[in-house]
Amino acid sequence: MSYVYVMCTVLLTVFGQIVIKWQVAQAGALPDDPAQKIEFLARLLLNPWIMSGLAAALLASVTWMAALTKLPLSHAYPFTASAFIIVILLSGYFFNEAVTPLKLAGVALVVLGIIVGSQG
């Protein structure tokens, strides 16, 4: 069950990042005027999708705590790097962000790091 908690942590983290990026992209650029910045950010914070992303971050923390009751931190933490992999792939899919050969090489290194770092 502890690996299910780790997987939930990763998936909730990814959900939060993708949803927040989606809504921030729709909102447009951050205004230059300080008063408009505050209004802009307040509107974002009240956006239900942004709230769901923030709630996902909170739930990810809860599932992470549950995972750490069963697993050593040095073993569990490398698995969280899989969030980077998923976010890179989904950002290419949903936001048409470039997934270059260099990024894919980085993903391969992260996968290798997860394999090596989670041993023993």
Distances (CA, A) of 75 to 45, 68, 78, 96: 35, 10, 7, 34
Would the pLDDT of 118 be above 90? no
Question: What local confidence, expressed as pLDDT, does residue 59 receive?
Answer: 98
Q: Say how far apart CA 50 and CA 17 lie, in whole Å.
A: 10
Residue range of the domain that includes 108: 2-117
Domain count, the chain: 1
Confidence of residue 120 (pLDDT cuts 50, 70, 90): low
pLDDT tens readout for residues 88-109: 999 999 999 999 999 999 889 9
Confidence of residue 111 (pLDDT cuts 50, 70, 90): confident
Does residue 46 sit in helix, strand or coil?
A: coil
Q: Residue 23: CB partners within 8 Å, gap ≥ 6?
A: 44, 47, 49, 50, 53
Q: Compute the average pLDDT of residues 19-45.
A: 97
